[in-house]
Chains A and B, each alone.
Chain A
Amino acid sequence: MNLRSFRTAAWLGWKIESNWTDPFLFAVYSIVKPLSGAAILVVMYSVITNGNFTDPLFPYIYLGNAFYMYVGAVMTGVSWAIIDDREHYRTLKYMYVAPIRIPLYLIGRAVARFLTGSFSVFITIVFGVLFLHVPINLAEVNWLLFIISLLMGVVLLALMGLTLAGVTLLLARHGDYLGDAVAGGLYLFSGAVFPLDVLPAWLRPLGYAMPITYWLELLRRSLVGSVAQAFPSLSAMSNGQLLAILAGMIVLAAVIAVITFRWCDYQARERGYIDRTTNY
């Protein structure tokens, strides 16, 4: 039953994400938006360095930005399902009375965003390799590390999304800001688009406390090994150490997600928030 709920939720999410237009416009939408975001950073970099794309800083920025798209897709995707179902479609109460597990349903809803996000990440990286000299050599990629890191990251983001979904259950009117605020904070402090040592010293501990920092570092290392050595922030750590830290943080995120969602879910039922609409 759990698998069926998850599969159906994923299919529903896909329909909601994609069937508002024809496949061509949807494909354009899925390509233009992420490429434009990446292009802003490319132009900024190019203007200052006169197009010196061979510096290790460029793949650091470019790959960090590309993989960061998963944060918006998966984490915000899970929590956004609460707002979408409760406020927009007004179906959350029906989901609650259906014989399904709500956390699994919410994670299933994010699968469509994960798929479209993966497409965006792929297109962005291919564009970077073909036109901007991002030095990814398929023969030198550490595929095992890449796949393990990617999967761990997706699990982590889904768990963080579940925590946010729980909190969103208790919020009105500003629920959609919550996902953006967390995603924006992670973008700034996790060294997604600049090395952590650029941050003021008093802010760096925040970066080291964020699991996304280690996740992005692992992904960069798996694709372009030389990038890791170029920046001092995490270069002293081995891949194994980074994986161990990430695994520990995932366990912590799971505990926080379960406790937070259960508590918020209980509170939302107690206060009658499951079918509340606020005309956001």
Chain B
Amino acid sequence: METAIRKNTGWRLFIQTILGRAYPRVVGMAREKSWLFFEIFLPMLSVSAYVFVYRAIGAPKEYIGFVVMGGAMTAFWMNILWSMSSQLYWEKETGNLALYIMAPTQLMAILLGMALGGLVATAQRALAIILLGSLAFKVEYALGSFWQLLLVFFLAMAALYGMGMMTSSLFLLLSREAWHLANLAQEPIYLASGFYFPIKSFNFWVAAAASIIPLTLGLDAMRQLVFPSGALLGFLSVKVEIAILFGLMVVFISSARLLLGKMERLAIREGRLTESRR
């Protein structure tokens, strides 16, 4: 006697796909313990080096906290670059991309699952970096509004992962250059987004242009909310930054949806889904 298999359709299938794709990100990544270690240990090395640079030049104490928080946020940017934007390129290299396209579900749900899983797994690493960095360098916090902090974090993450989903559709068309372009987007973004210093240090228009990366305003607002002198070194007021982050979230997620369909059709037409140009 055959067992009847209940097949989900519609929004149930959409949710099932999201959870299915998020699973390996959360559970799978935790299985390889050495990855967990290195993903916390490596950013801690950079954080420590920058903390000692600030100490060498006699920076005020809160700058140490800025570095620790910026260092933790690098985990999210690395996740966006290597596990969101360029993920479809990796999937193409390993032969999974064609399976995703063939599967009776939506690519958008697969990307959302990647984003959700990546966010949860990376948040654990970022939290570990903040805890270790704060303990090692005795960072002092003065929390302003917890709810605003939570809101800023979630808006920044939604906008950031929306941006990752959008760029992943562009990477769908790339081949070998994907690796290099992702590699190129590390230090310049650390610089432009003020990962290790207040973004206010830049000229207004440079800081405004850098704000297209959601982590720029997210990091600035979070620093304003958790450090005693954060507001003095903030770029815009927290409320304005929350409003801009909300706008970025809407723009990036809708663009991701539009671009994904367009790029998928283009990639199919040009035969890019199964190519492997090593």
Task: Identify the A interface with B (CB < 8 A).
Answer: 20-21, 29, 32-34, 36-37, 39-41, 43-49, 57, 61, 88-89, 173-174, 177, 180-181, 184-185, 187-188, 192-195, 198-199, 279
**By the criterion CB–CB under 8 Å, are B187 and A33 in contact?**
yes
A residues in contact with B177, CB < 8 Å: 20-21
When chains A and B are docked, how far (Å) is the Cα of A61 from the Cα of B52?
11
A residues in contact with B34, CB < 8 Å: 173-174, 177
**By the criterion CB–CB under 8 Å, are A29 and B45 in contact?**
no
**By the criterion CB–CB under 8 Å, are B53 and A41 in contact?**
yes
B residues in contact with A40, CB < 8 Å: 187, 190-191, 195-197
When chains A and B are docked, how far (Å) is the Cα of A43 from the Cα of B180?
25
CB of B197, distance to nearest CB on chain A (Å): 5
**By the criterion CB–CB under 8 Å, are B50 and A44 in contact?**
yes
B residues in contact with A185, CB < 8 Å: 45
When chains A and B are docked, how far (Å) is the Cα of A198 from the Cα of B196?
19
Instruction: Select from chain B the residue with minimum beta-carbon distance to A25.
Output: B177
B residues in contact with A57, CB < 8 Å: 56-57
Q: Is B55 an interface residue (CB 8 A)?
A: yes
**By the criterion CB–CB under 8 Å, are A48 and B32 in contact?**
no
Instruction: Select from chain B the residue with minimum beta-carbon distance to A45.
Output: B57
**By the criterion CB–CB under 8 Å, are B94 and A279 in contact?**
yes
A residues in contact with B188, CB < 8 Å: 32-33, 36
A residues in contact with B54, CB < 8 Å: 44, 48
CB of A75, distance to nearest CB on chain B (Å): 15
Within the complex, which residue of A21, A47, A187 is in contact with B180, where a contact is CB–CB below 8 Å?
A21
**By the criterion CB–CB under 8 Å, are A36 and B45 in contact?**
no
Interface residue total, chain B, C-beta cutoff 8 A: 38
**By the criterion CB–CB under 8 Å, are A174 and B38 in contact?**
yes
CB of B78, distance to nearest CB on chain A (Å): 11
Q: Is B58 an interface residue (CB 8 A)?
A: yes
Q: Is B12 an interface residue (CB 8 A)?
A: no
B residues in contact with A46, CB < 8 Å: 201
**By the criterion CB–CB under 8 Å, are B53 and A184 in contact?**
no
Please give me the 3 A-B residue pairs with the lowest Cβ-Cβ distance, nearest first.
A184-B45, A36-B187, A194-B56
When chains A and B are docked, how far (Å) is the Cα of A32 from the Cα of B181?
12
B residues in contact with A180, CB < 8 Å: 38, 42
A residues in contact with B94, CB < 8 Å: 279
Instruction: Select from chain B the residue with minimum beta-carbon distance to A186.
Output: B45
Q: A20-B177, A187-B45 are in contact. Are A61 and B53 (CB under 8 A)?
A: yes
Q: Beta-carbon contacts of B21-57 to A below 8 Å, as 1s and 0s?
A: 0000000000010110010011001101110111111
When chains A and B are docked, how far (Å) is the Cα of A20 from the Cα of B235?
39
Q: Is B278 an interface residue (CB 8 A)?
A: yes
CB of A191, distance to nearest CB on chain B (Å): 9
**16 pairs, CB–CB < 8 Å, chain A vs chain B:** A20-B180, A21-B180, A29-B184, A33-B187, A37-B191, A39-B191, A40-B191, A44-B53, A44-B196, A45-B57, A48-B63, A57-B57, A181-B41, A181-B42, A194-B49, A198-B52
Q: Is B183 an interface residue (CB 8 A)?
A: yes
When chains A and B are docked, how far (Å) is the Cα of A193 from the Cα of B52?
8
Instruction: Select from chain B the residue with minimum beta-carbon distance to A21.
Output: B177
Secondary structure class of chain A's binding surface, majority of residues = helix
Instruction: Select from chain A the residue with minimum beta-carbon distance to B50.
Output: A44
Q: A41-B53, A45-B57, A48-B59 are in contact. Are A184 and B46 (CB under 8 A)?
A: yes
**By the criterion CB–CB under 8 Å, are B187 and A44 in contact?**
no
Within the complex, which residue of B38, B56, B190, B198 is in contact with A198, where a contact is CB–CB below 8 Å?
B56
Within the complex, which residue of A48, A88, A188, A199 is in contact with B58, where a contact is CB–CB below 8 Å?
A48
When chains A and B are docked, how far (Å) is the Cα of A180 from the Cα of B186?
14
B residues in contact with A33, CB < 8 Å: 183-184, 186-188
**By the criterion CB–CB under 8 Å, are A181 and B38 in contact?**
yes
Q: Is B265 an interface residue (CB 8 A)?
A: no
**By the criterion CB–CB under 8 Å, are A44 and B197 in contact?**
yes
Q: Is B138 an interface residue (CB 8 A)?
A: no
When chains A and B are docked, how far (Å) is the Cα of A210 from the Cα of B202?
36
Q: Beta-carbon contacts of B170-183 to A below 8 Å, as 1s and 0s?
A: 00000011001001
New contact pairs (4) apart from A44-B197, A199-B52, CB-CB < 8 Å: A21-B180, A181-B41, A184-B42, A279-B94
**By the criterion CB–CB under 8 Å, are A194 and B187 in contact?**
no
Within the complex, which residue of A43, A173, A181, A199 is in contact with B197, where a contact is CB–CB below 8 Å?
A43
CB of B56, distance to nearest CB on chain A (Å): 4
Instruction: Select from chain B the residue with minimum beta-carbon distance to A55.
Output: B57
B residues in contact with A36, CB < 8 Å: 187-188, 190-191
When chains A and B are docked, how far (Å) is the Cα of A181 from the Cα of B35?
12
**By the criterion CB–CB under 8 Å, are B49 and A188 in contact?**
yes
> In chain B between 198 and 256, which residues have their CB closer than 8 angstroms to a CB of chain A?
198, 201-202
B residues in contact with A194, CB < 8 Å: 49, 52-53, 55-56
Instruction: Select from chain A the residue with minimum beta-carbon distance to B59.
Output: A48
B residues in contact with A173, CB < 8 Å: 32, 34-35
When chains A and B are docked, how far (Å) is the Cα of A180 from the Cα of B195?
20
CB of B117, distance to nearest CB on chain A (Å): 18
When chains A and B are docked, how far (Å) is the Cα of A13 from the Cα of B49?
31
CB of A166, distance to nearest CB on chain B (Å): 18
